[in-house]
Structure 1
Amino acid sequence: MTSSTSSPPHATVDNRGHFSLASQRAILWWGVALAIVYGLAFVLLLQQAPLKSPQWSADEVAQWYVANGTKIKWGAVICSWTGCFMMPIWAVFAAQMARVEPGRWKVWSALTLASGTLMSIYLALPPMMWGVAAYTAPRKNSEVTTLMHELASLTMTTTDQAYIFAWIAVSVIALRPATQQVKNNPFPRWWAYGSLWITFMFEAGAFAFLPRTGPFAWNGLLVFWSPFVLFTVWIIIQSNLCFRAIRAQREDPAENYFA
């Protein structure tokens, strides 16, 4: 009997991985667009840049939610739609890491994907909690509103470890000498040092449980402003590095997209 012939998996259709690269580019833009909308809602509607003073009394917290309830609830709506923006972004980062990471088991790439998923949860939950506080403030005791408000603010600032895993993984890949020999690599060695610095700065977040004033309060320099700015800068730079790498991979006729 003559065995049936089958086409090679990638030889006749999309043999240079254009669909994968186009998908990565589209997904990364998707995540970036969601991040921009989330950021605007966070600043303009939720009005949480910076977070409100930890020294507010329960009555002050409740009064603020009553006075700004409509804006806060709409901010919660928009952030519910966009809060998981890191999932598509880290999916592309992980795909690019898997491309340069050796071995069958891409454990560092898997770690970044898991970390991106977890950090998305911690970015999505606080706006929902602020929304609940605004939703219930006119009807509930001020202490209940304050509890939800403080839970949201502390969740936003103290869940730093979810971010740390991903940045450590990026740093390991970027510091590996063989990575720098890979063509169109989006993880240059200098970027490892930047990622490690941000990792170190983010570790201050958990201290927000302790003080209500100063740089370690949840609205302080080291707990809020430093992570807020560094996180934004990191996403912009890493996204740009990946966009450039994807474009170069697509234009390079010698590139093996399935390696």
Structure 2
Amino acid sequence: MVLEQSAAGTAAPAHPFAGLPRATITNLRILVWTGPICVLMVFFGLFVMAGFFPPPSPELTGAEVAEVWNDHQRLKQAGMIVCFMGGTLYATFTLAIGVMLRKCTPDAVMPITQTVIGVFGTVYFSFNFLILAVAGFRPDGPNETTQTLHDLGFILTFSPAAPFFLQYAAIAMIILQMPKPLVPRWVAYFNLWVAIGLVPPSFIPLFESGPLAWNGLLGFYIPVVVFGAWFLVMVPLLLRMLPKSEQPLPAT
């Protein structure tokens, strides 16, 4: 890591973004802002437009699932499209995290790992909403088909926690291995807490009711809260790491 001389004559680490062009800093700031846009679009499309707060019970019959999608069918489908567009932005936010954390550590392994896993997780945070949109495409068709697509969509929405668990664990390792002044240590432990909070939804396919169902306490409410809290912590942190001015910092 580049060093600069402090007033006392001792070597101190230079700002991790020293020497970056103004355009790079601006682009990083744009990518960071895709994070809150991502989660707001997903929550708005799923919970407000589609009205899936909480999600329909996994115990519904095929006919009852068809009735769910017949109620404001196009609005629900439009909500899923908004979710898909918002969920795709998770990849750009992940890229911002990877680039910025890479500048803060001499080791590239974990930042690259975080980025690859986060982009992979974006598939499960976007494609699942298209499946739900298809579930509402022909709600007057065979109930079994509508129910299958409905079940697949909701299971893929809440159950694939493994990529996100690994991503947040990698972020924690990066922070714990970097110099103390760059990122507070509590952010690492917070990422581990979020990762653990996302483990229970992995068991959603095994339960149709109870706390581990996709509308239960451990399968829905707690994961939604910790996932939203993750954005509330990470976005301000990343913005503070960037220089206040868009002027490039001098390289030492």
Asked if Structure 1 and Structure 2 have the same fold, meaning a TM-score greater than 0.5 normalized by the shorter chain, the answer is yes
Candidates 130, 152, 156, aligned match of 2:132: 130
Please, what TM-score do these two structures have when normalized by structure 2?
Answer: 0.86
Candidates 41, 48, 66, aligned match of 2:45: 41
Partner amino acid for 1:210? L
Identity percentage of aligned residues: 21
More helix by share: 1
Cα shift at 1:46: 2.1
How many Å separate the matches in 1 of 2:120 and 2:217?
A: 24
How many Å separate the matches in 2 of 1:94 and 1:20?
A: 14
Aligned residues: 235
How many Å separate the matches in 2 of 1:192 and 1:82?
A: 26
Cα shift at 1:254: 5.5
How many Å separate the matches in 2 of 1:214 and 1:174?
A: 36
Cα shift at 1:60: 0.4
- 1:135-214 equivalences under 5 Å are 135-138=137-140, 140-176=141-177, 178-181=178-181, 185=182, 187-214=183-210
How many Å separate the matches in 2 of 1:136 and 1:194?
A: 43
Cα shift at 1:67: 1.9
How many Å separate the matches in 1 of 2:168 and 2:103?
A: 17
Candidates 92, 98, 102, aligned match of 1:98: 102
Partner amino acid for 1:63? E
How many Å separate the matches in 2 of 1:121 and 1:220?
A: 24
Whether 2:230 is the aligned partner of 1:226: answer no
Identify which of structures 1 and 2 has the higher relative contact order when contacts are C-alpha pairs closer than 8 Å and 6+ apart: 2
Q: Out of 213-222 and 246-255, give the one that drifted further.
A: 246-255
**Structure 1 residue runs of 4 or more that deviate by more than 3 Å after TM superposition:** 248-256
Cα shift at 1:21: 0.9
- Structure 2 residue ranges without an equivalent (≥5): 1-17
Cα shift at 1:31: 3.8
Partner amino acid for 2:76? I
Cα shift at 1:248: 5.0
Q: Deviations over 1:13-46 (max 9, x none)?
A: x954222111100122234324322321111122
- Structure 1 residue ranges without an equivalent (≥5): 1-13
Distance 1:67 1:161, change over 3 A: same
Aligned to 1:61: 65
Please, what TM-score do these two structures have when normalized by structure 1?
Answer: 0.84
Cα shift at 1:253: 4.8
